[in-house]
Each structure stands twice: as structure tokens, then as C-alpha cells.
A and B are shown apart, each in its own frame.
Chain A
Amino acid sequence: MENLGVLTFGDYADWPSALLEVEKVPLLWVLFLEDVLSPEAGQETAIEDTDRLFDAALAPLRGRLQAMQTPVVVAWSTWRPHGILQDARRCTAWRRAARRIGDILFDLAAHSAGLYLIDLDNLLSKIGTDAAFDARNFYSARCRLSGRGISEISSATAEILRRTKEAAKKVLVLDCDNTLWGGVIGEVGLSGIALGGDGKGKAFADFQRGIRRLAAQGILLAISSKNNEVDVWEMFERHGEMVLKRSDVVAARIDWNDKSDNIIAIAEDLDLGLDSFVFWDDNPIEREKMRLALPRVTTIDVPLDVESWPALLDRLELFSRFSITDEDRKKTQQYHNRMRFVTERANTVDKTSFLRSIAMCPKAVAVNDATVVRAEQLSAKTNQYNLRPIRYTAAEILALAAANDCVTFLTSLSDKFGDHGIVGFSVARPVDDDAAFLDTFLMSCRVLGRDLEAWMFATLAARLHDAGVSSLYAEFWATERNVVAAQVLPQHGFKRVSGKDGLQMKLAAAGLETKGGDLYCADIKYLTRLPGLEVFETCPVV
């Protein structure tokens, strides 16, 4: 927890006052079913009565979730000491209540952005209830848990709070020999490889299944291995037990170069930062070299026994996100498209005619309940092509979209390389009758190099023009990661405002907070006819 905050404790069983505290700090509520439903009641209570008890117990939580988005982690446990025999023949009221409270909490989480849940029955089973609970602590300090139990909950909470602030990893870079399969393909050939069947071979196959599940959730797979490239692809295409397909891999560097150089090259091809990469290699020397050369890449401590890998992969939190969108599921295909685009562009001399030839069709997409998850994700994850990396929650984005005087829209794109989905997000907020401020302007790096930003500016400008606005102010807030966006404004007709104090005051008066970056101003009319727009002839600004 050290880096995320300090746990302070409220009074035992006084959750209403802790939950209704107005202070906006993340809260952990450890809820025991025994505190809501007495074991005596649990014997007999009808389900409607338990519902009423749960409603009363959860009312303060509902109140808080409505009042603020600040995270609340609810860790709940339905455990209580009891024998085997009473559950052997019938489903007790306690057991029904135990299931019910979980359903109610998950239902609540589906409708409240700030709620995160930890199922303690599951979490604590890792160390066992004997180790996790301590009756002495209960009778001496009304704490049901042991020190170990508390520390399990704090680490789980820390994991959740960390993910609310830090994006999940995006790319898994894999070695081949003795990582994806047992044996060295260049030495033993296809028939000598351990993969599938029983024993170690099954562990490798299950490991591949786990990797495939990650890919299905939008994690990109890459290969960096020291092999003859033909051997590796032969294995992928001809070995009957291979779970991973060649098409699951978006980038591969199969050669005898340093793996750190290979990962740098892959990162460039995919336009992703090294922080997004996770490296899995059975060879401890390769791992150590990677740690030294590229500390920003997360190198997994891979244990020697392959049989532990499938579970290790399943438990790995590095890639986990709280929700998975349709966009995520299409990710592998989208990056394949990106790689084709990069290759084809590299082979053409005239950029404009190339962009014309790929038949781009951008669309402005409204922010609504269905698209807000993607908007939130773009806001949270776009580090590079982002003029002002301000992270908005779904609720904040919906509020911006609902405000009459704001112009807020998403941009989707398809072209001959495929449907790229929603890749852009922009928000303009009012300054006065005549001017607006570009609060958010970001684009997924997957579609860089297509002049899509010109179309986004023009669309935004057309809408602002309809609203009677004639100038657009903008800010470039430089961070460590958004160098790629530094020239966007000057390249699209924005003039830097010298002596920005006056403008800053004007913006502040309109309730707009600047981040201390350079300020710019553009003429709306110019933005509607930007030079780059010619490549969108078939899809005019809407």
C-alpha cells in the first residue's frame, strides 16, 4: 500500500458514518455477513427478510456512490465457522443469503462507477480461513481477521487502487523454445517438441490457452526469440497441438539480435510505449539482460516449473482491466491492420495520393451510455497523441456531453485496412459567445499518419461555427509522453498566443483551468478548410 496511501480505521461496525464522510478519499469497507445477519437469523430468515436487511445495511453505500465517484472498495466475506453436516443435505438460509449478498453487490457495481468488489471468500481461501481469521483479535479488538488476513486485503485493495490510476499493460512479448513449447525446435525438430498430450506438454498447451485468452481480451502478442524464423513459423503452422496461431501474433522479431533491441523495434512498429510491454522468457539470462537494458519493460520472474505457469498467467494482474470493451476484443486485428498500413506507406512516395487510395471513412460518434466506456478508456489510456492528458471518468464525460454549450464527440474510422473503431475524442468548452476552448483532443496512436486530426479539427470547427463561435483557443500541456503531439496545433493553423496571462485570466473567468502549457488560438473558418482535408474527399466533414 505504501505508495498509494495509508490505511486509517473507522470505528467498528459504524459503516454509515464512514461511508457518508464527505471527505473525498478512497474507502475500504470490510463487510462480514455475520455483522448484517446474525447466525441465528441465518437459520430461518426468509429471503425477502434478508433482502430487507441487506437494503438497510447497504443504504449508506448507495448514498455515497450517488454523491461521489471516489473509489469505494467493498471486501465482503460470508464465512463463519460451522460444521459439514448441516450443509450436507440442504441449502441453508445462510448459504442462500451468502449467495444473495454477492449478487446484490455485483448488481450495484454494474451501475456505480466508483464501486470495486473483493470477494473475500475467494481471496482468503488462498491462505485458508484458519490463517485468515483470528477469534482472539475479535474478542480483543473486534477485528475478525488475523494480521495475515488484513495484509491479504490490503494488497488486494492496493492492486485495485493502483489500476484506477495506472493503465494495464498492452503487449506480451514471448520467447519460443521452452516457453511456448518444450524443447529447442532447431535441435529436436517438430516431432521432438513437448506440446499437448499429458505431463509437461499439456502444461505448455494450457499456458498457450491462457495466452490466447489474453489475446481475446485485446492483449497484443509479440514474439522475440533466437531461432531460425522458418523453424518457428513451421511450428506454428504444422504442429497439430499448437493452440496459438500465427495470426494471434501481431509482431515478431525472430533473429539473433539482443532481445531489448527487438522490443524497441516492436514498440516502434506498434507505436506503443515500452511501459506497456511485458516480457516472458524461460531463460534467466535473457530476463536479467532485459531488466538491465529496458527497466521500463516488465520482466516476469518465470519459475522453473512449467506446470505452475498456467495458474501464474491467470493470476497475473498486469493485464487486467475492470471492463473489456468491444474495441478491446478487436485489438489484435486492428494492430495487424496497423502493421499493413505502416508497410504499405513505407513503400509509397506520395503521401497524399497514398492516403486518398486507402478510402478513409471517418465518422463523428455521439457520446452516450453505449460509447462512454470507450471514451473513458481513451481518456485514461491515450498518453502520446493527446494535447492535454486529463483523465476523465465516464460520469464526467457524460456530464460534458450533456452540457448544451460544449461540443463533444468521438471519431471512428474505417478504411481499406479495416474497421479501426472509435479512435478519437474531442471536447470544446465555451469561453464566451464568440470563443471556445479545446479541452480535450486525442487520438489513438494506431491510426497515426493518416491526417485524421485534420478531419477532427474540421468537424469540431463546423459544429462550433454553427454555434456562432469564431475562434478556438487551445493548450498544449507537455508531459513526458506526448512529444508526438507537440506540433499538432501549429501544423493545423493555430497561432501561439504570446503574453498568455490575459488569455489565462479570460479562460479562468469562464471556469476553465489551464495546465501551464503553451496557449494557442485558431480561426474557426480556417479550421473548416484545412489543407489536409483533401484526402477525405469521399467522406466530408459532418
Chain B
Amino acid sequence: MPSRMIIAVLRKQFPQVTFDEADNTLGVNSFPEWDSLAHFNFMMSLEEAFAVRFSLDEMAELKSIKEIAVALSSRGIVVT
């Protein structure tokens, strides 16, 4: 199951879009609204929500919520 906490941020980012919240492969381009600009905004919202800062490399590489969850866990954040 995808992380509930990440999904909550995603839902806030795309309030008009309905998407499958149980989909483990959710990521950039999963739906048309989730383009690269929206992804950039989403990453900034995650930074705010989890009080972290992603590196430039991470901004380029983290394209799915699975990868994001791993990056957050590696910082010792318990992502549920």
C-alpha cells in the first residue's frame, strides 16, 4: 500500500483529480495534471509537510511516491 501520509499531500496537491490511492506505481504522469511543473510543486509541498529538504539530484530522480517514500525513510522518517 502507498504511504497514507504521502497520499494525503498528493490529494491536497490535486484536489480536482480522482486517482487510485491504492496504486503502488503512482508517479509523474500517472494522470495528465501531474506534469513536471506540478511535480515540482508537489515536491515542495512534501518538503513542507515532512520538514525535509531534497537535494538537486533527488529533485531530478524522485519520480514516484515509492521512491519518495524510500528517500524519506532514509532520513529516519517513519512514513506510514
Chain A residues near B (Cβ < 8 Å): 9, 136-137, 139-141, 143, 147
* Contact between chains at B37 and A139 (CB < 8 Å): no
Asked if B17 is at the interface (CB within 8 A of a chain A CB), the reply is no
Q: Mark B43-65, 1 if CB is under 8 A from A, else 0.
A: 01001100000111001100000
| Nearest CB on A from B57, distance (A) | 9
A140, B44: Cβ atoms closer than 8 Å: no
Residues of B within 8 A of A140 (CB): 40, 56, 59-60
**Interface contact B48-A143, CB-CB below 8 Å:** no
A301 to B44, CA, bound (A): 31
Chain A residues with Cβ below 8 Å from B56 are: 136, 139-140
**B55→A141 contact, CB < 8 A:** no
Closest to B36 in A: A141
Interface bin, chain B: 10 to 19
Task: Give chain B residues whose Cβ lies under 8 Å from the Cβ of A136.
Answer: 54-56, 59
| Complex interface: chain A residues within 8 A of B36 (CB) | 141
Contact B37 A147 (CB under 8 A): no
Cβ of B40 and Cβ of A141 under 8 Å apart? yes
Give chain B's interface residues, CB within 8 Å of chain A. 36-37, 40, 44, 47-48, 54-56, 59-60
A137–B60 CA distance with the chains assembled, in angstroms: 11
Specify the chain A residue showing the minimal Cβ separation from B16. A6
Complex Cα spacing A393 to B18, Å: 41
Cβ-closest 7 pairs across A and B: A140-B59, A141-B40, A147-B44, A136-B56, A140-B56, A139-B56, A9-B37
With a cutoff of 8 Å between Cβ atoms, the chain A residues found around residue B55 in the complex are 136
A147 to B36, CA, bound (A): 16
The interface residues of chain A lying within 8 Å CB-to-CB of B48 are 147
Distance to closest chain B CB from A285 (angstroms): 36
- For A146, the closest partner residue in chain B by CB is B44
Instruction: Give the Cβ gap from B52 to chain A, nearest Cβ, in Å.
Output: 12
Give A139 to B59 CA distance when docked, in angstroms.
10
Q: How far is the CA of A137 from the CA of B55 in the complex (A)?
A: 10
Please, could you name 20 A-B residue pairs with CB atoms under 8 Å apart, sorted by A?
Answer: A9-B37, A136-B54, A136-B55, A136-B56, A136-B59, A137-B40, A137-B44, A139-B56, A140-B40, A140-B56, A140-B59, A140-B60, A141-B36, A141-B37, A141-B40, A141-B59, A143-B40, A147-B44, A147-B47, A147-B48
Give Cα distance in the complex from A147 to B51, angstroms: 12
B27 CB to nearest A CB, Å = 17
Instruction: Give B43 Cβ to nearest chain A Cβ, in Å.
Output: 8
Q: How far is the CB of A515 from chain B (nearest CB, A)?
A: 32
Closest Cβ–Cβ distance, residue A151 to chain B (whole Å): 10
A143 cross-chain contacts in B, Cβ below 8 A = 40
- Chain A contacts for B44, CB-based, 8 A: 137, 147
Complexed CA–CA distance, A137 and B56 (Å): 8
Residue of A nearest to B38 (CB): A9
Quote the shortest CB–CB distance from B60 to chain A (angstroms): 6
In the complex, chain A residues whose CB is within 8 Å of the CB of B54: 136
Q: How far is the CA of A141 from the CA of B28 in the complex (A)?
A: 14
What's the least CB distance linking B35 to chain A, in Å? Answer: 10
Set of chain A residues within 8 Å of B47, measured between Cβ atoms: 147
Across-interface contacts of A139 in B (CB, < 8 A):
56
What CA separation (Å) do A136 and B52 show in the bound complex? 14
Give chain B nearest CB distance to A113 CB in angstroms: 31
Rounded to whole Å, the gap between the CB of A420 and the closest CB of chain B is: 50
| Nearest-neighbor residue (CB-CB) of A147 within chain B | B44
B48 nearest CB neighbor, chain A only? A147
Shortest beta-carbon distance from A150 to chain B in Å: 8
Residues of A within 8 Å of B37, CB to CB, are 9, 141
